[in-house]
Amino acid sequence: MKKLLLSTALLLVFTAPSHAETKAEHSSSHHKEEVKNPTNSATKEHADHKQSKWGYTGKIAAPHWGKLDKSYTACKMGKMQSPINIARYLEEEVPALESHYKESPLQIINNGHSIEVVFGSGNTLKVGNMSYELAQAHFHTPSEHYLDGAPYPMEIHLVHKTKEGKLGVVGVFLKVGAHNETIEKIWQNVPAKGKISKPDGLTITASKLLPENKYYYKYEGSLTTPPCTEGVNWHILKAPIEISEAQLRAFQGVFTVNARPIQSLNNRTISAK
Ligand SMILES: [Zn+2]
């Protein structure tokens, strides 16, 4: 009973509108667009097209995405889709992940599909000859990628983009363990659906969302949300980070399930050191 009360209290904290929250309509047009078309920060080519509603349950759930909108065709026809189950991989040298993330003002969007932490410029990631800039980080439960046939309780996606628009996503598994201060700072400032919060004076450093060990699985896939655009370089870190059970429950109280089921690997190879 005590546990139930605690989780209810956390849920209330989690969903209560923050005093620092600003209405999306009052913010810059950049943010307005991101709230309306959450996946569009990654796919500007669809910015002028009003995309159909999609979700994770019922008639708009993942198995139906491909027929909800013409621009979602890749969701059903694509042969290089994400997420995938990581079971076998080719053991080979992969370039190190060199992230240079700096302390940034905390800005959070609740786009109805997930919670998204938005980053300004200057957070870079180098992988071999690819040079990316961090755009945003968001959360899925359970994890979208599976490891040896099983998911983790959650997964973070740090979405990066090159100057040419090529996407590179770093996936971080979350397992239940210690309380996580960085996650707590995000959870405590989540705005209501469709809104943005910019809590005064609070900052975040994206490297705090990464494990110490940066070994990863590398493969080529897609966005895991409509329009399921392919050509995304995926880097799934082997080592998970920890959150507490209460923190997991707080997220799941708002987003019960927001993960796309695993997709066929088809002709692709997963590489890892
Ligand atoms: Zn994602």
User: For a pLDDT cut of 90, what percent of the chain falls above it?
Assistant: 81
Task: Give the confidence band of 52 by pLDDT, cuts at 50, 70, 90.
Answer: confident
What value does the mean pLDDT take over residues 54-77? Answer: 97
- Cα of 5 from ligand 1 centre, angstroms: 31
| pLDDT score, position 106 | 98
- Cα of 139 from ligand 1 centre, angstroms: 6
Question: Does the pLDDT value for residue 65 go beyond 70?
Answer: yes
Instruction: Report the alpha-carbon distance of residue 74 to residue 59 in Å, rounded.
Output: 18
Q: Is 165 left (phi over 0), alpha (psi -120 to 50) or beta?
A: left
- Cα of 113 from ligand 1 centre, angstroms: 10
User: Can you say whether the dihedral through the CA atoms of 142, 166, 221, 112 is positive or negative?
Assistant: positive
- For ion ligand 1, residues whose CB falls within 5 Å: 157
Structure tokens at 181: 């201060």
Least reliable range by pLDDT among 37-51, 144-158, 186-200, 250-264: 37-51
- Cα of 81 from ligand 1 centre, angstroms: 13
Question: Does the pLDDT value for residue 237 go beyond 90?
Answer: yes
- Cα of 37 from ligand 1 centre, angstroms: 14
- Cα of 2 from ligand 1 centre, angstroms: 33
- Cα of 116 from ligand 1 centre, angstroms: 10
What value does the mean pLDDT take over residues 231-259? Answer: 98
pLDDT digits (tens, 9 = 90+) for 5-26: 334 434 444 444 444 333 333 3
Task: Give the confidence band of 263 by pLDDT, cuts at 50, 70, 90.
Answer: very high
Query: Which residue, 57, 5, 73, 15, is CA-closest to 193?
Result: 15
* String of DSSP letters for 97-155: EEEE--EEE--EEE-SS-EEEE--S--EEEETTEEEEEEEEEEESS-SSEETTEE-SEE
- Cα of 168 from ligand 1 centre, angstroms: 12
- Cα of 188 from ligand 1 centre, angstroms: 21
What value does the mean pLDDT take over residues 107-132? Answer: 97
- Cα of 169 from ligand 1 centre, angstroms: 8
Task: Give the confidence band of 34 by pLDDT, cuts at 50, 70, 90.
Answer: very low
- Cα of 1 from ligand 1 centre, angstroms: 34
Classify residue 51 by its DSSP letter: P
Question: Does the pLDDT value for residue 138 go beyond 90?
Answer: yes
User: Can you say whether the dihedral through the CA atoms of 231, 256, 241, 194 is positive or negative?
Assistant: positive
- Cα of 179 from ligand 1 centre, angstroms: 22
- Cα of 171 from ligand 1 centre, angstroms: 8
- Cα of 22 from ligand 1 centre, angstroms: 24
Backbone angles phi, psi at 217, to 5 degrees: -100, 135
Query: Which residue, 271, 267, 234, 269, is CA-closest to 83?
Result: 234
| pLDDT score, position 149 | 97
- Cα of 25 from ligand 1 centre, angstroms: 25
- Cα of 92 from ligand 1 centre, angstroms: 26
| pLDDT score, position 2 | 37
- Cα of 224 from ligand 1 centre, angstroms: 6
- Which domains, ranges and CATH numbers included, belong to the chain? 2-39+64-272 (3.10.200.10)
What value does the mean pLDDT take over residues 75-82? Answer: 98
- Cα of 258 from ligand 1 centre, angstroms: 9
Classify residue 189 by its DSSP letter: T
- Cα of 223 from ligand 1 centre, angstroms: 7
pLDDT digits (tens, 9 = 90+) for 206-218: 999 999 999 999 9
- Cα of 140 from ligand 1 centre, angstroms: 6
